Amino acid sequence: MLAGQPAAVVVDLSRLAFCDFEGMGALIGAERRARELGGRLVLTGARGQCARLLHRTGLDRIFRLLPGPAATGEAGPPVAVPRGSTQLVTSLT
């Protein structure tokens, strides 16, 4: 996703049922790589355990967090993503 150097990669976490520290580490690595390439990693739809983990670790202050699903057709209004972004929608349940 980062190879094309988009302004942002939007990762929709709304279907993510569980995320541990290893998963957060992967997101941190992706954010670091995106910044090296002049972009950002944007998270959307974080809820439940994942949202709590982001808050408790302080990562909610590092990542740009958007509410709700990112234009996936799920309940709720679509989220406006940054211009020049690439969206990655998780298929994890």
Query: What digits encode the pLDDT tens for the residues 21-46?
Result: 899 999 999 899 888 888 888 899 99
The H or E element spanning position 79 is none
Q: How confident is the model at residue 43, as a pLDDT?
A: 92
Q: Which positions of the chain have pLDDT values less than 70? A: 1-6, 69-93
Residue 90 to residues 12, 36, 37, 62: CA-CA distances in angstroms? 6, 23, 22, 20
Between helices 48-56 and 21-36, what is the axis angle to 10°?
70
Q: Residue type at 57?
A: T
Question: Does the pTM exceed 0.85?
Answer: no
Q: How confident is the model at residue 40, as a pLDDT?
A: 86
Whole-number Å distance between alpha carbons of 43 and 67 = 9
